[in-house]
Structure 1
């Protein structure tokens, strides 16, 4: 465990120092776009935080290559190189979009290309699903399912990037839970390389989010932009595929330590990687349906995401972010507790996780639909305008929120 803690601290330190450096350089050289019509923030804010997060990730992988504990994930170096190469491609395209607002077709093409590099050259694919020993026999079916899964998760994470600290915090919680799960599976089953790779990626993402969040917390001084959000989505998808897609179905049926509930044991490896990104996936699905039903592109931006709806209900931007944190922790911890309950033979097995989920849902529903600040508060005097970055025009005050996607 101490090796993972070191990885988290190293990534966090590099990401924090470079985030501060990127913020200062962006202000000095005016590397921030103007306010667009769809933006909800009013003060020009740098969007290049994804660069700092990416370098932190690369630094962690570089150090791991020299550490004997992580030698197992380097037994297939082409897999790591493909993963880092695809991530670099996404970050470059994301930076270009953050500076010049690329056409959505270009971004989508780059996403499919990056996912293809991982699936084809890295051979990190969904080969099997641990549900009744289900195996994907066609190599092209495996490749296609993998590519589409990565692209969907990338866009799902990117779509919720609309409020200060939202994506960084949600991904921090999700990867924290996923790291705990993957680490316990290795402990309980003696699983192979793929689980260690999943644990390492989750640890790296935890560190990247911790290092970036101080500059992204409301009021944000730096946004991660498309570069950061797409990178988080890509790596989270890959960590999930490393477990789910390469899970040995025999573990479920033959290894009693995996859990006394065979039904739960069959579903957990599929369920948990999904629930940790449940809110992004839900927001992404609703956005696609909403836009296509109006005859628009599924990637055409609007201001009807879940976090915008909470703002319309009367929540402050910070309260809305905290509610998203609560929902993310609720759904992911519920499934994790079900797994822990079966492996430790708690009374009632997974019922403890179900009870936690039911009580948590009730609490989250209350805070979601009873906002502490009603829309009537809008009649209160406006706060003093926040200072604009050096050289940027002063504009009307508003929370330093991300753009609506």
Structure 2
């Protein structure tokens, strides 16, 4: 865990330096698009943060590869370099597509085709869903495995990209989700491979956490630079690759011993937890697709009706809307993580955390509606009569008349 933390710290420092460099270059050469109607910001801002994040990830993997000979436990990641090269190759392709889209606005079919090619490259390298821990279900053919993996990656990339609308939103949500997922993957690796605590999923997640931490200072409200489609799609690709690398890689007997839960929970947890940490982006993605298709539009046609837009319209400030997204992500992902640590964490503790957390998040999210109803009710009641103080002379005259 110390080595993973150092790897994440190294990635954060490199990404921060690269982010500042890209930001200065973008300002110097005016590499920023015009403000769109659906944008929340009012000042033209560079959208090349994804380039800095990708370079930070690339340098981090290069450094890990270079020092793998000095850390034999880390060498297991690079014994077969094909998956690492496939992930980096797919990341490069998706970043190029994202940068071009941020600068000249590609049509949605071109972007979607590029996403399928990038995901296919990662799946071809060996990062695939080989089996599902439900009743011993196995993906029957290599082609089926590739197709299922590509679909999962493309859905995740678009889910992450859809919530990229407020300063620090995607980076913060990804940071929370990846921290939880790192703890989960590390605990699984420790209990299944006691001689080596490293796995591709844990190393990839640690590097991605570092990239998010390094970019966050420039993306915090008010943001100096956005990650753009390049950064959002990159985060989605790396997170899905990490989830695929760990999901379905253990049989049911191993999961039963590792997770320490009932047969049903232990079978579903490796699938549920990767989805749970991204439940908010997937919810926004699903609602957007249904909304646009009902309106007869393309599911990838941009609009201003995402969840973060609705929070702003409800009356939340930019800062509060971002924190609400953070809170929902943290409650759901940490709650699922607590379930995975049974019997060390009692079930009632995990359940109470989820129930109370969701209740608090719901109250905070809907609070502006209550204030708005109170305001409307006060306006409907009409203006209150103004009570003016009676002059002192009138008071004396009134008292004299009453005495008479």
Identify the range of structure 1 (160-169 vs 181-190) with the bigger mean alpha-carbon deviation.
Answer: 181-190
Pairs within 5 Å for 1:6-405: 6-66=6-66, 67=68, 68=71, 69-120=73-124, 122-190=125-193, 196-253=199-256, 255=257, 257-342=258-343, 344=344, 346=345, 349-371=346-368
Q: Following the alignment from structure 1 to structure 2, what is the Cα–Cα distance between the partners of residues 302 and 87?
A: 26
Contact 1:49 1:224 (8 Å CA) reproduced: yes
Aligned residue in 1 for 2:376: none
1:324 and 1:41, CA in 2 relative to 1: closer, same or farther beyond 3 A?
Answer: same
Larger of the two Rg values belongs to structure: 2
Aligned partner of residue 341 in structure 1, secondary structure:
coil
In 2, Cα distance between equivalents of 1:280 and 1:195: 28
Give the whole-Å Cα distance in 1 for the aligned partners of 2:154 and 2:37. Answer: 27
Post-superposition offset of 1:55: 0.6
CA change 1:302–1:337 in 2 (3 A) is: same
* Separation in structure 1 between the aligned mates of residue 300 and residue 261 of structure 2, nearest angstrom: 44
- Whole-Å Cα distance in 1 between the matches of residues 40 and 356 of structure 2? 34
Q: 1:158 touches 1:229 (CA, 8 Å); kept in 2? A: yes
Q: Bigger shift: 261-270 or 170-179?
A: 261-270
Q: TM-score, normalised on structure 2?
A: 0.88
Q: Which has the higher contact order (CA 8 A, sep 6+)?
A: 1
Contact 1:94 1:226 in 2 (8 A): yes
5+ residue gaps, structure 2: 374-404
Conservation of the 8 A alpha-carbon contact between 2:50 and 2:228: yes
1:246 CA drift (Å)? 2.4
Contact persistence 1:119–1:125 (CA under 8 A): yes
Partner of 1:398: none
CA-to-partner distance for each residue in 1:297-348, whole Å, 9 max, x for gaps? 0100001101111111100011000000000000000010011123x2x4xx
Runs of 4+ in structure 1 over 3 Å off:
191-195, 371-376
**Count of equivalent residues:** 369
Q: Distance in 2 between matches of 1:115 and 1:250?
A: 30
